Chains A and B, each alone.
Chain A
Amino acid sequence: MSTIAIHTSATMHHHDDHSHGHHKETFLTKYVFSQDHKMIAKQFLITGIIMGVIAMTLSILFRIQLAYPDHNFPLLEVLLGKFAPDGRLDPNFYLSLVTIHGTIMVFFVLTAGLSGTFSNLLIPLQLGARDMASPFMNMLSYWLFFSASVIMLSTFFIESGPAGAGWTIYPPLSALPKAMPGSGLGMTLWLVSMVLFVASSLIGGINYVSTILNMRTKGMDLWKMPLTCWAFFLTAVLGILSFPVLVAGIVLLVFDRSFGTSFYLSDIYIGGQALANEGGSPILWEHLFWFLGHPEVYIVIMPAMGIASEVMSVNSRKPIFGYHAMVYSLIGITVLSFIVWGHHMFVTGMNPFLGGVFMITTLIIAVPSAVKTFNWLATLWRGNIRFTPAMLFAIGLVSFFISGGLTGIWLGNAALDINLHDTYFVVAHFHLVMGSAAIFGMLAGIYHWYPKMFGRLMNPKLGYLHFWLTFASAYLVFFPMHFMGLDGVPRRYYAFTEFESMQKWLSVNVFITWAAILGAVAQVAFLFNFFYSIFFGEKSTQNPWEANTLEWTTPVERIHGNWPGEIPTVYRWAYDYSKPGHDADFITQNTPLSETMSSNLPHDFAGNEEAERIQEQWNIEHKNIDSREEVK
């Protein structure tokens, strides 16, 4: 396998040297057009972090507008020019900020930055493969993502400004340049960027699925895979099945915008003119968008769940509670996520009967989510918890997932949604359950697998500071928003000044903005830690967290092909932590049962009678019957 992989990459770049060991890499093939999954993971991660910082900065800009709607900030005019005349954001630019913040966070940070990084890094390392099924496609996936990012950001430098119709870009607002400046060139570039993004995501997804299905090492059957890999696998399947629908929707929108078709447009009078379009329906876009859009939120959260499960198990020094239930709940979420998209459309004019059906499917999806939460709690119970920064973020994820998930029960209820739809309640809900929770999963992953990416450790103390500030500020930002929503304050409002009834929330807005600034400043601790530790961090040992999974059996040096010799064989599941009868509190997956005779349980042999007989023999010899009986 290694021969093939290296051989291909060598011919690709016309290297003369075909020998395995001395395969020379130039700067360009090592750091730029790399086909090594670990390097591509780092490329995804660093691009994702940069995009995340940008999107966070955008959010601070519009938070300042919300807190001080009557205030002029000359600095804003210096920085933004005509987008902030006299130091106040232009209302159209405000909407552009909201739109691009959402787009970047959902797609570029929490889809590409999260799945792209950790699927690429962990699938081959945890399943025992030399690289991805197609390293070239993997490289292509990153560069398409990179192009999409550049195009998305370039819209800040065009005259009409970035797209501004909200991240869901509902037509006709997004289809008619007359409706808002953001629906001009900015929207065209948004659509181009998203098509490239989806291409990247699909290529990546196909690669992840084929790697997981075909390239697992000997002994690594599906039920021995760590939960991270299960999560990445199901996420990739979701993406492959749902992203093409978004592209279909986008293509129709491009046709409506540029070629005069009427897929989404009908009976429109705008700018003193009746348009010729008839027979289309904006509802069609909403269906197509949310057919992706809802699975998308699970694309965002499932890898984070997988990471949290792994991190919590390692750091509680306990097996994940209910491994099978965890997998089945992921599968349940995957399947159900395809039939719940209509809960975004209860009050759009969709047939109300359909609304009732979608409400039922939506509330069913809460069951597997509840199971996951309880299993995480049970994993912590009677553990021996090491609070590494990764562990703190994983616990933070559980907290956010509970807080945000519970309000999902409100919003999934069509009757309650009438009054909560498009209010700050929704903003609070999804920022907690998929925003904060997913970003915490991502941060947990970064702190945990940093040694596998850079061979060094991040500073834990700065990690603690980062966690506590971020955790507190996220709650301070989003918790009060629920109550604004319950007061019927609609989202995407440029200012709360025009309505008497919203005046009382102005002081809350100031509070939220300062909490958000605190949260943003806290990220400096992370950024410094991340980039400083690449060069000066403490050198990592091979298995710094004493974890079971295969990536910790690779050398610290992170060589091409991952393992210097043979790929390890897997004999057991990933969660043998603190197993009674074993001296250490972890047993790596590549440890044969024959080396752990003192701790083997009948269940471990999966019905292999010969092995059971040998174990019984050993037990009799070592008088180890008691421990067996106890477990039965």
Chain B
Amino acid sequence: MKKIFSLFALIALAFNQVMAQDTVAGAAEEVSKTDGLAKMVGYYLLLFLLLCIFIGIVGKILQVYDLTKKIQGKKEGIKWNNINGLIFAVFLVLGLYGAYWCYTVQGAQILPDAASIHGAKIDSMLNVTLILTTIVFVITHILLFTFAYRYKFNRKKKAYYYPHNNTLEKYWTITPAIVLTILVLMGFFTWRGITNISKSDMASAIQIDVTAHQFAWEVRYAGKDNVAGNKNYKLIGSLNGLNTLGLDLSDKRNYDDLKVSEIVLPVNKSVRFTLGSQDVIHSFYMPDFRVQMNCVPGMATFFQFTPTITTAEMREKTGNPKYNYKLYCAKICGASHYNMQFAVRVVSEKEYKEWIKQQKPIVTEDMKKQYQLAMKDNLAPKNNKIALNN
């Protein structure tokens, strides 16, 4: 009786869906470009419905089978515990194979070896962690699913009353604790090595200043003095809109800074990126170098590293003649977050020197003129004010 109800409910469900489809169809007819849409939606709904009915019928068959078994005097009908236990065993085998397949096939598609000194350390840490966690992953899953299969319900058996075992619990508290301590120590020193850089190393590195905004990167090299000049967000758009970065032209250190349209780094030279943002948080992410740091408005952040593989070498290593290093934005920043590109290239020292010679100063002649004009306008009243105050 109940089952007849269930069929009715299924049919009712079907009917509802047809009705829903009609309303969708009604809406669709108004829009000429969506012709045939209703048919398509209806088609998929019907397919789904057929599937539901099929499952319903299979359910019914199982029920009938179950009942006949019971009528024949057997206590249990279908042994669902055995079936589920068996599926766990099958799932274990398929799952482990699937994981193996992912490790090998998709694992081959991940980033190539790190192209920086600290990146190599991160990679070796990653490998250690990968091996340890994979071992635990495999062992615990084998235990979990074999226990599920092995100890499936059996009417004749009774479970083993085993509420606790302090020794065992001590072992599996202390073992993870030791393993984690090793990982923590390794991680801590790697992390400090990356982030804790001496003052002299900071000063000797090539200084590059990156400003992020929706949805692009502005990059300037610090020029001959290797110090980037001051900027102030209130000056952005000044000098008749020429000053896109808000450079403070009263700071003489700005004049030798270079504006670039791609980041070019000499191999095996330390570079220090100073990062900032004009509007929302962005994230400066160069996965090939294992470099990521957020760009935060109102606060400078830093990342210093040494690239070790030139683009040309990397192309050879990966066998991909089009391989390029890339800079992404990794922090959600708005509609075009998915497309904040900037080219990155690592070259030999010699190529770098040639390239940098060709780069233009960020303070253009036009900007200088505008600045001088503005200064003239401003100077007189300013002096007056000072005089008045006196």
Q: A interface vs B, CB < 8 Å? A: 74-75, 77-78, 90-92, 95, 165-166, 170, 172-173, 176, 179-180, 265-270, 272, 274, 278-283, 316-325, 347-349, 352-353, 355-356, 359-360, 363-364, 366-367, 370-371, 373-375, 377-378, 380-387, 392, 395, 398-399, 402-403, 406-407, 409-410, 413-416, 418-419, 421-423, 459-462, 464-465, 468, 471-472, 475, 479-480, 482-483, 486-488, 490-496, 498-501, 504-505, 508, 521, 524-525, 528, 532, 536, 538, 575, 577-580, 585
Would you list 9 pairs from A and B whose C-beta atoms are within 8 A, ordered by A residue?
A92-B334, A173-B280, A180-B335, A318-B162, A375-B169, A385-B152, A410-B126, A414-B188, A480-B106
Q: Mark B1-31, 1 if CB is under 8 A from A, else 0.
A: 0100110010001000000000010011001
Contact pick for A410, options B106, B107, B129, B143, CB 8 Å:
B129
B203 at the interface (CB under 8 A from A): no
Contacts of B213 in A (CB 8 A): 269
- Bound complex: CA of A385 vs CA of B86, how far in Å? 13
Q: Of B6, B37, B153, B298, which contacts A78 at CB under 8 A?
A: B37
Q: How far is the CA of A91 from the CA of B339 in the complex (A)?
A: 11
> Is B125 a contact of A532 with CB atoms below 8 Å?
no
B144 touches A418 (CB 8 A): no
Decide: A536 and B9 in contact? CB cutoff 8 A. yes
Q: In the bound complex, do residue B144 and residue A402 qualify as a contact, i.e. CB atoms below 8 Å apart? A: yes
- Verify if B97 is at the interface (C-beta below 8 Å from A): no
Interface residues of B in 305-338 (CB under 8 A from A): 322, 324, 326, 328-338
Q: Is the CB of B111 within 8 A of A490?
A: no
Establish whether residues B184 and A349, one from each chain, have CB atoms under 8 Å apart when the complex forms: no
Binary flags per residue of B175-192, CB closer than 8 Å to A gives 1, else 0 = 011001001100110111
In the complex the two chains form, is B152's CB within 8 Å of A387's CB? yes
A536 CB contacts on chain B under 8 angstroms? 2, 5-6, 9
Expressed in whole angstroms, the Cα–Cα distance for A423 and B213 within the complex equals 20
Interface residues of B in 145-169 (CB under 8 A from A): 145, 147-148, 151-154, 157-165, 168-169
Given A323-B164, A349-B293, A318:B279 Cβ within 8 A: no
List residues of chain B with CB within 8 A of the CB of A403: 137, 141
Of B253-261, B283-291, B351-359, the one contacting chain A is B283-291
Asked whether A419 lies within 8 Å of B279 as measured between CB atoms, the reply is: no
Question: Does any Cβ of A come within 8 Å of B361's Cβ?
Answer: no
Give the nearest-CB partner of A172 in chain B.
Answer: B280
- Cβ of B121 within 8 Å of any chain A Cβ, yes or no, is yes
- The interface residues of chain A lying within 8 Å CB-to-CB of B5 are 536
A349 touches B296 (CB 8 A): yes
> Interface segment, B220-228, B233-241, B372-380?
B233-241
With a CB–CB cut-off of 8 A, which chain B residues contact A166? 332
Q: Chain A residues with Cβ under 8 A from B297's Cβ? A: 172, 265-268, 282
Q: In the bound complex, how far is the Cα of B83 from the Cα of A490, in angstroms?
A: 41
Contacts of B198 in A (CB 8 A): none
Interface residue? B55 (CB, 8 A):
yes
State in angstroms the CA–CA spacing of A363 and B233 once bound together: 40
For B37-63 the 0/1 string (1 means CB < 8 A from A) is 100110000001000100100010010
User: Is B183's CB under 8 angstroms from A409's CB?
Assistant: yes
B192's closest neighbor in chain A, by CB? A356
Contact residue among A165, A320, A385 (Cβ-Cβ distance under 8 Å from B151): A385
Q: Knowing A387-B153, A415-B121 touch, does A347 contact B332 (C-beta < 8 A)?
A: no
- Beta-carbon contact of B194 and A415 below 8 Å: yes
Q: Which of B6, B9, B334 contacts A173 (CB 8 A)?
A: B334
**A269 to B84 Cα, complex, angstroms:** 60
A492 contact from B40, B151, B154, B337, Cβ within 8 A = B337
Does B341 sit within 8 A of A, measured CB to CB?
A: yes
* Residue B301 interfacial (CB < 8 Å): yes
Bound form: Cα–Cα A377–B137 in Å: 13
- Chain B residues in 8 Å Cβ range of A355: 191, 195
CB distance from B118 to the nearest CB of A (A): 8
Which residue from B83, B151, B328 sits with its C-beta under 8 Å from A380? B151
Beyond A91-B336, A384-B159, A499-B341, whether A407 also contacts B152 by CB under 8 A is: no
**Are A377 and B140 CB-contacts (below 8 A) given A268-B278, A281-B299?**
yes
Shortest CB distance B191–A (Å): 4
Report the Cα distance A414→B184, complex, angstroms.
Answer: 9
Which of A419, A483, A495 has a CB less than 8 Å from the CB of B107? A483
CA distance A279 to B297 in the complex (A): 10
Indicate if B390 sits at the interface (CB-CB under 8 A): no
- Note all chain A residues with C-beta closer than 8 A to B329: 490
User: How far apart are B104's CB and chain A's nearest CB, in angstroms?
Assistant: 11
Are B52 and A524 interface neighbours, CB within 8 A? Answer: yes
Contact of B111 among A278, A406, A487 (CB under 8 A): A487
- Whether B298 contacts A280 by the Cβ 8 Å rule is yes
Q: Is the CB of A366 within 8 A of B180?
A: yes
Least Cβ–Cβ distance between B133 and chain A, in angstroms: 4
At the interface, is chain B mostly helix, strand, loop or mixed? helix
Distance from A483 Cβ to chain B, minimum over Cβ atoms (Å): 4
Distance in Å: Cβ of A340 to nearest Cβ of chain B = 13
Say whether A325 contacts B292, CB under 8 Å.
Answer: no
B residues 102-118 in Cβ contact with A at 8 Å: 102, 106-107, 109-111
Let me know if A381 and B151 touch, CB within 8 A: yes
C-alpha spacing A249/B168, complex, angstroms: 44
A434 to B233, CA, bound (A): 41
In the complex the two chains form, is A385's CB within 8 Å of B148's CB?
A: yes
Hey, which chain B residues are within 8 Å of A384, CB to CB? 151, 153-154, 157-159
Report the separation of the CA atoms of residues A462 and B10 in the bound assembly, to the nearest whole angstrom.
Answer: 14
Residue of B nearest to A73 (CB): B37
B204 contacts A by Cβ under 8 Å: no
Q: Which residues of A have CB within 8 Å of B293?
A: 347, 349
**Closest residue to B25 on the A side, CB-wise?**
A78
Is A78 a contact partner of B27 (Cβ separation < 8 A)?
yes
> Would you call A382 and B338 a contact (CB within 8 A)?
no
CB <8 Å contact, A367 and B177: yes
What separation, in Å, do the CA atoms of A538 and B3 have in the docked complex? 11
Task: Check A468–B87 contact: CB distance below 8 A.
Answer: yes
Q: How far is the CA of A414 from the CA of B293 in the complex (A)?
A: 12
Q: Is the CB of B80 within 8 A of A387?
A: yes
Q: Is B294 an interface residue when CB atoms closer than 8 A count as contact?
A: yes
User: A319 vs B192: C-alpha distance in the bound complex, in angstroms?
Assistant: 46
Distance of A406 Cα from B344 Cα, bound (Å): 34
B190 pairs with A318, CB closer than 8 A: no
A74 touches B34 (CB 8 A): yes
Given contacts A407-B133, A416-B122, A486-B110, contact A399 B2 (CB under 8 A): no
**Contact status B187-A415, CB under 8 Å:** yes
Given A95-B334, A413-B184, A579-B161, 11 extra CB contacts under 8 A: A266-B299, A320-B163, A321-B165, A371-B176, A416-B122, A418-B291, A419-B111, A483-B107, A486-B111, A488-B328, A508-B106
Q: CA–CA, A480 to B98, complex, Å?
A: 10
B330: A residues at CB distance < 8 A: 421-423, 490-491
| Complex Cα gap A91–B294 (Å) | 22
Instruction: State in angstroms the CA–CA spacing of A77 and B33 once bound together.
Output: 10
How far is it, in angstroms, between the C-alpha of A377 and the C-alpha of B141 when the chains are bound?
A: 10
Taking a contact as CB atoms under 8 Å apart, the answer to whether B292 and A418 are in contact is: yes
Assess the A480–B187 pair: CB atoms within 8 A: no
Q: Which chain B residues lie closer than 8 Å to A366 at the CB level?
A: 176, 180
Residues of B within 8 Å of A416, CB to CB, are 122, 125-126, 129, 187
Are A378 and B162 interface neighbours, CB within 8 A? yes
| B334/A75 in contact, CB under 8 A | no
